[in-house]
């Protein structure tokens, strides 16, 4: 499988002495989704989460980590952030604010530490799988460790 990539997110986890497992997968034309990790490594789909970035009316940015098979409920997101309205950050702005690209956006190691919310479904397991900061790189780590490193708040975020 070639050389293992050490992303900024993985370097931060190393620096914080947080145990993790890096999962590498090939992308097809630069695209990989969380379900590819499920299929390739036989992981339970309920462990795989996606990282979404949104902004409020206040123009503050927020990070939402939700199950890969679920959809962010914007009303719930607005409620937990005390914003009147939440909208997804346009993909074209993602790199400018986070340093990451769509499909490789990790909640760990963004350009700035934004207020971060982790869906309550993450508490159903000890570990969680999120992007490792590059397309084709995922990281599995303890939910508590992710909360610590991103100062995450657990909240009800997905649509029912």
Domain presence at residue 1:
no
Q: What is the pLDDT of residue 136?
A: 83
User: Cα separations (Å) of 91 from 34, 41, 52, 94?
Assistant: 18, 28, 10, 5
Domain presence at residue 80:
yes
Would you state the structure tokens that stand for residue 38, as one six-digit string? 């499920």
Domain presence at residue 117:
yes
Q: What is the pLDDT of residue 1?
A: 39
Q: What is the pLDDT of residue 82?
A: 97
Q: Which value, in Å, is the radius of gyration of the alpha carbons in the chain?
A: 15
Q: What are the start-end ranges of the E strands in the chain?
A: 20-24, 49-56, 61-67, 86-88, 115-119, 127-134, 137-142, 153-155
Domain presence at residue 37:
yes
Q: What is the pLDDT of residue 31?
A: 47
| CB within 8 Å of 143: residues ≥ 6 apart | 118, 122, 123, 125, 126, 127, 128
Phi, psi for residue 3 in degrees, rounded to 5? -70, 140
Tally of domains in the chain: 1
Contact predicate 118/152, CB 8 Å:
yes
Phi, psi for residue 94 in degrees, rounded to 5? -60, -50
Distance, in Å, from the CA atom of 22 to the CA atom of 158, rounded to the nearest integer, reads 26
Q: What is the pLDDT of residue 29?
A: 46
Domain presence at residue 3:
no
Domain presence at residue 2:
no
Domain presence at residue 32:
yes
Q: What is the pLDDT of residue 2?
A: 44
pTM for this predicted structure: 0.91
Residue-number span of the structural domain to which 66 is assigned: 8-155
Domain presence at residue 160:
no
We report the CATH number of the domain holding residue 66 as 3.90.960.10
pLDDT tens over the chain, length 160 residues: 345 678 999 999 999 999 999 988 765 444 456 666 667 777 888 899 999 999 999 999 999 999 988 999 999 999 999 999 999 999 999 999 999 998 889 999 999 999 999 999 999 999 999 999 998 889 999 999 999 999 999 999 999 8
Q: What is the pLDDT of residue 23?
A: 87
Q: What is the pLDDT of residue 11?
A: 95
């Amino acid at each position: 499988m070639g050389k293992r990539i050490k992303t900024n997110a993985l370097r931060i986890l190393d620096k914080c002495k947080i145990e993790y497992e890096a999962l590498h997968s090939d992308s097809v034309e630069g695209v990989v989704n969380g379900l590819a990790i499920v299929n390739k490594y036989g992981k339970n789909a309920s462990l795989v989460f996606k990282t979404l970035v949104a902004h409020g009316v206040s123009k503050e940015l927020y990070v939402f980590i939700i199950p890969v098979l679920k959809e962010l409920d914007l009303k719930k997101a607005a409620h937990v952030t005390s914003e009147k309205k939440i909208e997804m950050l346009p993909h074209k702005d993602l790199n400018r604010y986070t340093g990451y690209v769509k499909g490789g956006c990790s909640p760990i190691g963004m350009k700035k530490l934004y207020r971060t919310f982790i869906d309550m479904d993450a508490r159903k397991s000890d570990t969680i799988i999120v992007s490792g900061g590059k397309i084709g790189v995922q990281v599995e780590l303890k939910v508590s460790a992710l909360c610590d490193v991103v100062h995450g708040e657990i909240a009800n975020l997905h649509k029912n």
